[in-house]
Structure 1
């Protein structure tokens, strides 16, 4: 079985050998794996950075342990509510999203978007 007409995705050279071979050499295979790992690491670092920013902002604005802040204020400081580590649902059905030990609940009050910030409590259960 031959790789007639099949080219290496890294360097474009013709691939010789087994029909299921994907790269022309071990070097090209290694380059491909390294590039994919770099992309994965970049994504991980982006998510981790945003989680840390979110936690830092929630901690900064949570002066009393239970604080309401305008959503626009948090967002302008770099907060992104799409990034969170876990959630807690109350008996009433409210869903608090947490960035480690600080959580938030998105509220709509009088057509104004606000965020209620809380700190994780023992009664909320284990993560």
Structure 2
């Protein structure tokens, strides 16, 4: 995936994403690249892959963030459309959390706590 410099936002603050209709790709691939484009344009892309999967409403409703359509075009207002469990944390916040956790590891006498915190730091990936 490559990126280019963002263009200025339209006057009405809509986000317009165009996908290449000359490229044969699955709906999931297209949806993932739409998400990559929007996150990159907003300056918040975490850099990892985006995986788009189909899901039943009961599964989507359990996710941390869910989207419901406003009903202005194709769908009825309130239609559940998508969800994600992704929670954005900036690199600076992850790095600060890592430093804070490692300070606790350095000062604790409990090897179980140190081990658990070290595992959490590894998950942060900072």
Rg comparison, structure with higher value: 1
TM-score class, shorter-chain normalisation, is under 0.3
TM-score (norm 2): 0.26
More strand by share: 1
Higher relative contact order (CA 8 A, sep 6+): 1
More helix by share: 2
